[in-house]
Amino acid sequence: TDVAQSGNSEVFRRHRDHAAALHAIVVVASRRLIVKQYRAFLYTIYATIMKSSSILVAAATTSCANAFVPVQPVNSRTPLALNGLFDGVKEAFGSGGMGELEGDRETPIDRWMGWNAKSDKPMEAMGSKAPTDFVDSMDTKNYVTASLTKPMGIVFEENDAEFGGIFVLDISEGSSAESDGTLKPGDQLVSVGDSKVYGLPFEEALGTIIDSTEEKVSLTFFRGPSKFLYGAAGASQEWLDSFIKEAKVEA
């Protein structure tokens, strides 16, 4: 104002120009600061994007690598631990009892039990050994009956405690049992007349023979191992009772 009042226009113009220049400098500096901050902001975003891309690429690479790794086959047919659950059935129906199966019908249980599919090779148990001497104790063909006078000349022996009952151990020479020729060592005594002695202790079974008052005592025997008469493969009590009654009628 003082300069303007003094009429010195030249000085006024200089001050005005200096002010305009200063204003321009301030504006330019402000713009540079803003641009610098904006560029820093863009760089931060760019760095974040690049980092995320690296993670995605690494994940994709790992997935691709896993895609070409051979998959290990899963064995769904795990062996069964039967722990003796079917031991009795296995003994009763081994390879000798069931015969051969068609190939498309064979199962792991069949192989474990020894029930093999048809093949050119001799049949054998693929699991644990199954008996080949199976004798069906519910088949009348596997029983013999002898009517003998006393003294019979039969030497009896008791089976193992798990079974009970008695069997023919030996036959004395010149005895009625030898003359009859029906009995053989190993025959299992099942009945005396119409009295069932199946599974009885030695004294009780032998006592039934001694107590019989018949002139000829009828003895019925199972011709086969004790495990097929008394074990899980043995005949049912109902079947034995019916068989003994029928045998008595026929006698």
The larger pLDDT score, comparing residue 12 to residue 143, is at 143
**Torsion on CA atoms 201, 203, 208, 209, rounded to nearest 10:** 120
For range 176-196, the mean pLDDT: 96
- pLDDT band at residue 148 using 50, 70 and 90 as cut-offs: very high
The larger pLDDT score, comparing residue 40 to residue 79, is at 40
pLDDT over 90 percentage in the chain: 41
- pLDDT band at residue 216 using 50, 70 and 90 as cut-offs: very high
- pLDDT band at residue 27 using 50, 70 and 90 as cut-offs: low
Residue 13 burial (CB count, 10 A): 11
> Could you tell me how far CA 159 lies from the centroid of its own chain?
34
pLDDT at 150: 95
Amino acid at 233: A
pLDDT at 127: 46
The larger pLDDT score, comparing residue 212 to residue 125, is at 212
For 65-69, 163-167, 178-182, 217-221, which range has the lowest pLDDT when averaged over its residues? 65-69
Cβ atoms of 209 and 192 within 8 Å: the answer is yes
Helix (H) or strand (E) holding 146: strand 143-148
- pLDDT band at residue 247 using 50, 70 and 90 as cut-offs: confident
Q: Give yes or no for residue 212 having a pLDDT over 50.
A: yes
| Alpha-carbon span 169 to 206, nearest angstrom | 13
Closest listed residue to residue 231, CA positions, set 87, 127, 30, 59: 87
pLDDT at 125: 45
Closest listed residue to residue 142, CA positions, set 228, 242, 236: 228
| Alpha-carbon span 223 to 157, nearest angstrom | 15
For range 206-227, the mean pLDDT: 95
CA atoms 117, 121, 124, 125: torsion sign: negative
Tokens encoding 112: 């474990």
- pLDDT band at residue 242 using 50, 70 and 90 as cut-offs: very high
Mean pLDDT of the chain: 74
Q: What are phi and psi of 187, to 5 degrees?
A: -65, 135
CA atoms 29, 34, 35, 36: torsion sign: positive
| Alpha-carbon span 59 to 62, nearest angstrom | 5
| Alpha-carbon span 146 to 221, nearest angstrom | 8
pLDDT at 50: 67
The larger pLDDT score, comparing residue 132 to residue 27, is at 132
The larger pLDDT score, comparing residue 107 to residue 127, is at 107
Closest listed residue to residue 220, CA positions, set 231, 232, 209: 209
- pLDDT band at residue 169 using 50, 70 and 90 as cut-offs: very high
